[in-house]
Amino acid sequence: MRKIWPFSFYFLFFAAASALVPYMALYYRQIGLSGAEIGILTGLAPLISLVGAPLLTGFADAQHRHRLIIGLTLGGVMFSVLLIPFTEQFTLLFLLVAIYAFIGSPIVSLADSATVSMLGEQRALYGRIRTGGTIGWGLAAPLAGLVIQNNGLRWAFWLYAAGMFAALLVSQGLHFGPVSVQQPFRSGFKILMSNRRWLLFLAMVFMAGMGMATVTTYLFPFMEQVGASRGLMGLSQTIATLAELPFLFFANRLIKHYGARGLLVLSMAVVGVRLLLYAAFPTLAAILLIQLLHGLTFATIWVAGVSYAHDHAPAGLEATAQGVFGSTMMGVGAAAGNFFGALLMEAVGGQQMYFLMGLIVLLGLGFFLLVEKRFSTPSVQYETF
């Protein structure tokens, strides 16, 4: 019965996100912002989360107020998002997006920490609980697409706020486990961030996050360039999220077989290939087919990251480690992808943007593997970085 709370939370949270996240760049374009301004706004949110997620999850760990923090942040993002459609001035939008990004940055990391804690010895089944988010996104995305197509892009904000309110209610059923701090927070954080294999893991997560951001943020504008309707855009999200289900459901077997390191390397390679395929086959039918790769990109990267962060977190810093991982992928990595993706899309178009970003991801993967090889020793196991 305890599993229903995190499952329901993921369902509602990502159902709400499916109504807003893919449409943000389209909304900014609709109100007349330039490519540079769109790049700044789409890059701002994840960049701020780089600071916000570790700070707020660290505060929750240090003060042991996890449930209060997640409730306040959910309420904060709900109200801040409701204000965004009432202004088209770039400066005010910048401020609102910054507030929204900072307040919302720790939510997923806190939920992941609670889920792993609630699963206890069954934490390898995290992926199966996380399917709630995939199902929520997959079911809500086409419905949101139809509503937005018939009523306008502003409805993305109303739908998101409604979903966040429901997630807020469910979040109070999450449990974060007993207090088990065995060392001061600052010293534990220093130990975590001085581990060079942890840092290499974060570097690879950054590159993967940069590549995935161009899919999350700019796939819809790219599809618009090739003539897709809002309904087809929603369908593309449904295909992608349904493709996650088998990988999340059998994530425990993937982690056991490949380890977190091996799974991340495999997923990062597929991210690069996925971006190159968008560039090579810029048709609606091909894009929908390529969306099937989503399960072996975002889903497996996230499962590997959550597993690695939990296993390598100092005692009492479990939420903090999740926050550092999440802010690296969805924060600074996504910010870089959003910013440079916007500039490239305006300069050379979506097709060439995906070609260049795909090359960057694959070259980055090769570089990180060479760096890892230089400081590896025979005693280091393949699976543990």
pTM of the model: 0.74
Q: Would you give per-residue pLDDT tens digits along the chain (385 residues)?
A: 568 999 999 999 999 998 998 888 889 989 998 878 887 887 777 778 778 888 888 888 877 788 899 999 999 999 999 999 998 889 999 999 999 989 998 899 899 989 988 887 777 788 889 889 888 987 888 888 889 989 999 999 999 999 999 999 999 889 886 655 455 667 777 877 877 888 888 989 999 999 999 998 889 889 988 888 877 887 887 788 788 889 888 888 888 888 888 898 999 999 999 999 999 999 999 999 999 999 899 889 988 888 888 877 777 777 788 888 888 888 788 888 888 888 898 889 889 999 999 999 999 999 888 887 776 654 444 344 5
Q: Where are the domains of the chain?
A: 4-174+183-375
Chain position carrying tokens 């050379």: 348
Measured distance CA(171)–CA(175) in Å, rounded? 9
pLDDT of residue 249: 86
pLDDT of residue 91: 92
The CATH architecture of the domain made up of 4-174+183-375 is: Up-down Bundle (1.20)
pLDDT of residue 376: 60
The full 3-state SS of the chain, as one line of letters, equals CCCHHHHHHHHHHHHHHHCCHHHHHHHHHHCCCCHHHHHHHHHHHHHHHHHHHHHHHHHHHHHCCHHHHHHHHHHHHHHHHHHHHHCCCHHHHHHHHHHHHHHHCCHHHHHHHHHHHHHHHHHHHHHHHHHHHHHHHHHHHHHHHHHHHHHCCCHHHHHHHHHHHHHHHHHCCCCCCCCCCCCCHHHHHHHHHCCHHHHHHHHHHHHHHHHHHHHHHHHHHHHHHCCCCHHHHHHHHHHHHHHHHHHHHCHHHHHHHHHHHHHHHHHHHHHHHHHHHHHHCCCHHHHHHHHHHHHHCHHHHHHHHHHHHHHHCCCCCHHHHHHHHHHHHHHHHHHHHHHHHHHHHHHHCHHHHHHHHHHHHHHHHHHHHHHHHHHCCCCCCHHHC
